[in-house]
Structure 1
Amino acid sequence: MEDRELINAPERIRALSHPLRLRLLDLLGEHAELTATQCADLTGESVASCSFHLRMLEKYGFIERAAPRGREKPWRPVTRRGYATGIDPDVPGSVQATVELARMTFQQRSQRVWAAMERLGQEPQEWLEATRLMNSSIWATAEEAAALGDEIMALFEKFEARDDPSQRPPGSRRVRVMATIHSEPPED
């Protein structure tokens, strides 16, 4: 499978730093193709707003037009594997743009976590037991921390074929996983 596209150009990172654009990318990842009208229905935003933000995502190379379906003009992601931001201190604005995108992404994802926690009382026992909040602290070198991140991503790869509905086992649901690997400041 293709690797995630690495983005370190500040203007492309900033193009993602909008809550509706992040949501639209998520939706396109889930549905493969959507029209602006379908995006509006799924987000509660106006068709005009969705159209504008879809065009911005196209301008910066994240999505493209799919084959027309009659009068419908759907959009689709350029890549199914998603994107990874790369901080490049030699690219002016790269660090600041990545920090802003990380803040917005974490805020949006944490809202989903809280919504899931609020629904726990309505979930069947099997999904109660499958729901986890994990927190850990370890001592590692930068190289070990990077390797840990690679190992975690490798675990996710075995589920990627399931974006195709025919590959999903009965009873499966979209499961969200949010993890961070970051260091504390060095101790003096």
Structure 2
Amino acid sequence: MDQPQPDREDTRIVSQTDQLKALTHPFRIRLIDLFRGGDELTATQCAEATGESVASCSFHLRQLEKYGFIERGEPRGRERPWRAMRERGLTLTAEPSDREAFAAVTAAGSAFLADAVDRLQAWYRRAADDDPEWTTVSAQRFTSFWATPDEVRELGERIDALIRPLQDRYEDPSDRPEGARHVRMIAATWTDPS
């Protein structure tokens, strides 16, 4: 399997088994998500945002630091904040022949997917009370098709190209049009067993 190459310098390829294993804990996925907007947060602020204890947040933040997913920010008096590394996205990959690394990729991917599905189900529970304009543009697409590996790769690249300009608005609120909301998307392609 060829290693995917990031098409932007702010996308990180994660292929080391120990780094992949660090991403298999569901709470670490939640913590990484807290930092996506570029904020610097303390363990106390992470605890307030997640409902976890400060001690648990501190432990998981140190683990994420150890494997290079977050770093320490500049101290603010007695506060010791954390911040995300500058990557906009992560690509998880491993050679199928490296069973341990490949198992870590699938476990980390499952953790990210479970988090995304939890968030989608939370939206389902409140969608009827949301602004109808937002409810009608929110969509879930379920489909299948026949394709070659090259066609599936091209599909992913085309989806990335469509999303990229919207992702560029992430860190600078002044780049966001009036009325914009934070939107999430799950996209996955896989093959059915023959």
After TM superposition, the score normalised by the length of structure 1 is: 0.94
- Deviation by residue 1:48-83 (Cα, 9 ceiling, x = unmatched): 100000000000011101112222111111123121
Pick which of 30-39 and 144-153 moved more: 30-39
1:106 is matched with 113
1:84 is matched with 91
1:165 is matched with 173
- Deviation by residue 1:18-61 (Cα, 9 ceiling, x = unmatched): 11110000001135311111100000001110000000000001
- Deviation by residue 1:135-158 (Cα, 9 ceiling, x = unmatched): 111110011101111111111111
2:191 paired with 1:175? no
The separation in 1 between residues aligned to 2:27 and 2:70, in whole angstroms, is 14
The separation in 2 between residues aligned to 1:183 and 1:38, in whole angstroms, is 41
* Runs of 5+ unmatched residues, structure 2: 1-7
1:33 corresponds to which of 33, 37, 40 = 40
The separation in 1 between residues aligned to 2:123 and 2:188, in whole angstroms, is 19
- Deviation by residue 1:102-135 (Cα, 9 ceiling, x = unmatched): 1222111111111101111111111111110111
The separation in 2 between residues aligned to 1:161 and 1:32, in whole angstroms, is 16
* Runs of 5+ unmatched residues, structure 1: none
- Residue 168 of structure 1 deviates from its aligned partner by 1.2
Per the alignment, in what secondary structure is the counterpart of residue 138 of structure 1? coil
1:57 is matched with 64
1:128 is matched with 135
The separation in 1 between residues aligned to 2:85 and 2:123, in whole angstroms, is 29
The separation in 2 between residues aligned to 1:22 and 1:47, in whole angstroms, is 16
Partner AA of 1:181 in structure 2: T
Kindly report structure 1 stretches of 4+ aligned residues shifted beyond 6 Å: none
2:28 paired with 1:21? yes
After TM superposition, the score normalised by the length of structure 2 is: 0.91
The separation in 2 between residues aligned to 1:147 and 1:30, in whole angstroms, is 28
Pick which of 159-168 and 169-178 moved more: 159-168
- Residue 90 of structure 1 deviates from its aligned partner by 4.7
2:3 is matched with none
8 Å CA contact 2:74, 2:80 repeated in 1: yes
Question: How much is the aligned-residue C-alpha RMSD, in angstroms?
Answer: 1.3
Per the alignment, in what secondary structure is the counterpart of residue 71 of structure 2? strand
- Residue 3 of structure 1 deviates from its aligned partner by 4.1
The separation in 2 between residues aligned to 1:92 and 1:121, in whole angstroms, is 44
